[in-house]
């Protein structure tokens, strides 16, 4: 028999984690766990995820109708329910707003692959769902194209949603891995450029993924490109690398003036006196 109180405790614990990580400001985010084929536990609306108590958790059916709990359920549980309907094996869903991953969606930048081994093994390609107003059925349906071939997705101009066949804590893991990865990408781009892992080495990582029992990567099943968004973080290039013309000297500072001995001491003294006179006149 399912211990619902324990599941509620697990939801509260993950709520504290996402709040402490800065993934959910104020009352942002929502968490759910499947109880059985007909019922789901979820977080309430307008309650900080950092201060949840088991008594705050709501119960809904697979249509979203609330059937238990003293607080009103989150409107975004409809997004969770779409995942549960498509994936009967999924046990938990976590939605929140991790800053670095969300920044990629706000910038319209697809999250690149072929950079970090851990991301290739545990996450793979991270899709971005189109934008819809949160809480509505159209918003819930944006995730449908990706539920069968990913563990986490970015919601355009909104946040992320992750799901797991194991536990709510595991769905939180995917969120934490993704945001740490996006932070590394941003830092690397600030330093210079993002260096890629070669495709043969990525293939080795996908072999490891299969040996770890994490499934076959969808890129292999679809014969898709292993590396996406290869333009991200190429860094600065020299004029010779990009074929750009070398900037010429400014007409105000011809090269010959910079040569030692090109200007006489008398000319230097005249220019200094003229500049000094102009400054004094401006002060007066």
Catalytic machinery residues: 76
CB-based contacts of 127, cutoff 8 Å, min separation 6: 145, 146, 150, 153, 154
CA separation for the pair 45, 173 (Å, rounded): 23
Contact present, 84 and 140 (Cβ < 8 Å): no
Per-residue tokens: 3: 């211990």
Q: Which long-range contacts (CB under 8 A, 24 or more apart) does 139-147 make?
A: 139/76, 139/78, 139/79, 140/76, 140/78, 140/79, 140/81, 140/82, 141/82, 143/79, 143/82, 143/83, 144/82, 144/86, 147/82, 147/83, 147/86, 147/87
Query: Angle between the 168-191 and 99-106 helix axes, to the nearest 10 degrees?
Result: 60
Provide the total of helices (H) and of strands (E) in the chain, helices listed first.
10, 8
Report the 10 Å Cβ neighbour count for 2.
Answer: 12
Nearest in space to 162 (alpha carbons), one of 170, 138, 142: 170
Question: DSSP 3-state assignment of 93?
Answer: strand
């Amino acid at each position: 028999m399912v211990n619902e109180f324990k599941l509620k405790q697990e939801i509260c614990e993950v709520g504290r984690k996402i709040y402490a990580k800065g993934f959910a400001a104020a009352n942002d985010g929502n968490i759910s766990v499947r109880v059985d084929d007909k019922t789901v536990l979820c977080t309430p609306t307008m309650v900080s995820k950092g201060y949840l108590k088991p008594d705050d958790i709501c119960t809904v059916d697979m249509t979203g109708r609330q059937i238990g709990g003293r607080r009103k359920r989150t409107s975004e549980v409809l997004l969770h329910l779409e995942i549960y309907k498509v994936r009967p094996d999924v046990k938990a869903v976590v939605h929140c707003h991790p800053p670095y991953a969300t920044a990629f969606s706000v910038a319209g930048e697809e999250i690149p692959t072929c950079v970090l081994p851990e991301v290739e093994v545990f996450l793979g390609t991270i899709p971005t769902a189109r934008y819809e107003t949160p809480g509505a059925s159209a918003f819930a349906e944006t995730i449908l194209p990706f539920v069968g071939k990913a563990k986490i997705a970015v919601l355009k101009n909104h946040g992320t949603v992750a799901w797991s066949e194991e536990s709510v804590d595991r769905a939180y893991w995917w969120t934490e891995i993704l945001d740490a990865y996006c932070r590394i990408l941003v830092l690397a781009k600030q330093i210079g450029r993002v260096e890629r892992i070669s495709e043969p080495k990525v293939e080795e990582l996908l072999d490891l993924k299969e040996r770890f029992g994490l499934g076959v990567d969808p890129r292999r099943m679809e014969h898709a490109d292993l590396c996406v968004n290869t333009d991200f973080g190429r860094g600065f290039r020299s004029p010779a690398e990009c074929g750009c013309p070398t900037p010429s000297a400014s007409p105000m500072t011809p090269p010959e003036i910079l040569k030692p001995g090109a200007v006489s001491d008398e000319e230097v003294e005249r220019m200094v006196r003229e500049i000094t006179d102009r400054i004094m006149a401006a002060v007066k």
